Chain A
Amino acid sequence: MAHGHHHHTHTGGILTLDALAACSGLRGVSPGLKMVFSAGSLVLCVGAADAVVGAAAACSMAVIIWLLGKVPLDHLLRLLRLPLLFLAVSCLVILLECTRVPMGLWQLRLGSLWLCVTAQSLNRAATLFFQAMGAVCCLFFLSTSTPMPQLIEVLRKCRLPELMIELMYLIYRYLFVLLEVQRQMTVAASARLGYDGWRRSLTTAGKISGGLLASSFRRSSACYDAMEARGYEGRLAFLCRTPKLRLCHVLAATAYLLLLGLLILIRKRGIAL
């Protein structure tokens, strides 16, 4: 009886991001600008391949998300937890080198082999870590500040094929509908001890996926009726009032990108000197 109460109480990451974007302090900023800004800083951060630039980008983006985006700090840390964990594990692998002789800054004997940390591997791991963290923060900036429909409308303006735009809208909408159905089915299943024990949990999860597919099929024809009833004739279009581009926002974004560029310049020239 002790199992089965934990794994379905947490809500998916998408729900959190969606809710954060809906009440972000930056929701009044043009989504196109936010997209360009986030892509620009991402390119600078990845392109620079430098630990200091990465760390600066990561920290500044986190501060922007926190202070301007009004995302509570504990929410932000919870969001960063998963990529941090993933990165820490992969960077550990890069940090450690396996050699026949002890070398570098730190060694550990493993039978006839040595696990070493060299200055080179440390540099490589740190660069990768901060580069990736910077990139992650740039993307979190976009996803915590821009509601999905606004992003989709920007993509529509970028002349993405109509079919893809419609699919994005529908997938995004039904993601939430199906998540809710799945949650209800899971609760109903655990009420009948469907999650009692590992083996049974697995069977139940399988049955729920099947049920979800069946109910999606049933639902799709009802949804199509409802679309037709409102005159759907093959083009899915909604009113979407996106915030206008404002000069002060453009200037602020440009200033940030220039500063980041300047930092890269200083770092690169510093190495050259």
Chain B
Amino acid sequence: MTEPILQLEHISYTYPDGPLAVEDLSVSIEKGERVTVLGRNGAGKSTFFLLCNGILEPSEGTIRCGGKPLTRKKKDLTELRRRVGIVFQEAENQILAVTVEGEVSFGPMNLGLPMEEVERRTVEALDRMGLGEYGDRSPQYLSGGEKKRVTIADILAMEPDVILLDEPTASLDPENVARLEETLDQLTRAGIALVVSTHDVDFAARFARRGLVFSRGKLVADGSLESIFSRQELLEEAGLRKPWLWQAAETLRPGEASYPMTMEQFSHWRETVG
């Protein structure tokens, strides 16, 4: 078996002025994998993301990238930030430049690449996000969905192995959520591992098989979504609900171990139960 792309081993982190934000966290992400991160606001999801990318320095534990342990040395940090990208929840906080093209080039410029390579990556990332025509536009005239795509292009231009998306569906309309799901499929096909935090369990069920559940700074579950949604006490602890289709199926036939979560699974389930 190949080494996981990203590995966190017994990571703990305390905010300078606060309580323990993340405690004894161990997770590994494989190449091209899709993982969804669930939990209440303030449960440690965003801190987890910032730790993965080296913005926050863990007080304990080791982070490995492709099996190699990373230190806080500048070279290692740059490596980590290239390989692990974060798409932040608020596009306005992430967008920095005054043109779309400039914005997407910011990451590659920081990697110290030659200008032709910066330009190639910028153009390619914009094309992949369907923003080819937007190069010289100003970000303030873009719609919410377009801004989200710009922030994803930002990270794509750094050619990462893992992209962490912090609540990407928040503040998107249904049409743009559907478009985002297509984009995520495209990224998976390109072999990029995706870790997506969300409050929308129906979206989570469509997106991934594997879930991480955070509660009060601890990772309380790491496993298949079926196993997560069938544990009532876990759902209560983490403030989650079951996906609507799961609830509907459970009402139809109570007492089974697990239920369908996506439309596809639901149709299939209805045929098999008759």
Which residues of A are at the interface with B, using a C-beta cutoff of 8 A? 18-19, 22, 147-149, 169-170, 172-173, 176-177, 180, 219, 222-223, 225-233, 235-241
Q: Are B137 and A22 in contact (CB under 8 A)?
A: yes
- Given the complex of chains A and B, what is the CA–CA distance between A178 and B74 in angstroms? 33
Q: Report which of B92, B99, B105, B141 forms a contact with A177, defined as CB distance below 8 A.
A: B92
- Distance (Å) between the CB of B6 and the closest chain A CB? 14
Which label, helix, strand, loop or mixed, suits the secondary structure of the A interface?
Answer: helix
- Given the complex of chains A and B, what is the CA–CA distance between A241 and B101 in angstroms? 9
Judged by a CB distance under 8 angstroms, whether B78 is at the interface is: yes
Q: Report which of B53, B78, B96, B101 forms a contact with A173, defined as CB distance below 8 A.
A: B96
Interface size for B (C-beta < 8 A) is: 44
Q: Report which of B104, B137, B140 forms a contact with A176, defined as CB distance below 8 A.
A: B140
Q: Given the complex, which residues of A lie within 8 Å of B85, measured CB to CB?
A: 229-230
- Distance (Å) between the CB of B257 and the closest chain A CB? 40
- Given the complex of chains A and B, what is the CA–CA distance between A219 and B104 in angstroms? 20
- Greatest chain A CB density within 10 A among B88, B138, B141 is at B138
Q: Given the complex, which residues of B lie within 8 Å of A231, measured CB to CB?
A: 78, 81-82, 107, 110-111, 158
- Greatest chain B CB density within 10 A among A223, A238, A240 is at A238
Q: Given the complex, which residues of A lie within 8 Å of B250, measured CB to CB?
A: none
Q: Are B110 and A173 in contact (CB under 8 A)?
A: no
Which label, helix, strand, loop or mixed, suits the secondary structure of the B interface?
Answer: helix
What mask results when residues 105 to 145 of chain B are scored 1 for a CB within 8 Å of chain A, else 0? 11111110001001100100000000000011111110000
What mask results when residues 145 to 160 of chain B are scored 1 for a CB within 8 Å of chain A, else 0? 0000000001100100
Judged by a CB distance under 8 angstroms, whether B178 is at the interface is: no
Judged by a CB distance under 8 angstroms, whether B27 is at the interface is: no
Q: Are B109 and A239 in contact (CB under 8 A)?
A: yes
Q: Are A229 and B102 in contact (CB under 8 A)?
A: no
Interface Cβ pair total, 8 Å cutoff? 108
- Distance (Å) between the CB of B244 and the closest chain A CB? 32
Q: Which 6 A-B pairs have the closest CB atoms?
A: A239-B105, A238-B102, A231-B110, A176-B140, A230-B107, A226-B94
- Given the complex of chains A and B, what is the CA–CA distance between A222 and B91 in angstroms? 11
Q: Given the complex, which residues of B lie within 8 Å of A225, measured CB to CB?
A: 50, 55, 88
- Distance (Å) between the CB of B99 and the closest chain A CB? 5
> Contacts A176-B140, A219-B93, A239-B109 known; A230 to B98 CB distance under 8 Å?
no
> Contacts A149-B102, A172-B98, A173-B98 known; A226 to B93 CB distance under 8 Å?
yes
- Could you list 20 further interchain pairs (A-B, Cβ under 8 angstroms) beyond the known A22-B136, A237-B109? A22-B137, A149-B97, A172-B98, A173-B95, A173-B97, A176-B138, A176-B140, A180-B140, A222-B93, A223-B93, A225-B50, A225-B55, A228-B55, A228-B81, A231-B82, A232-B110, A233-B78, A236-B96, A237-B106, A239-B104
- Given the complex of chains A and B, what is the CA–CA distance between A228 and B140 in angstroms? 22
Residue of A nearest to B98 (CB): A149
- Greatest chain B CB density within 10 A among A219, A222, A231 is at A231
Q: Are B110 and A230 in contact (CB under 8 A)?
A: yes
Q: Mind listing 29 A-B residue pairs with CB under 8 Å? A: A18-B140, A19-B141, A22-B138, A147-B98, A148-B98, A149-B98, A169-B97, A169-B98, A170-B96, A173-B97, A176-B140, A177-B140, A226-B96, A229-B55, A230-B85, A230-B110, A230-B155, A230-B158, A231-B78, A231-B107, A231-B110, A231-B158, A238-B102, A238-B105, A238-B106, A238-B109, A239-B102, A239-B104, A240-B102
- Distance (Å) between the CB of B84 and the closest chain A CB? 9
Q: Are B102 and A226 in contact (CB under 8 A)?
A: no
Judged by a CB distance under 8 angstroms, whether B86 is at the interface is: yes
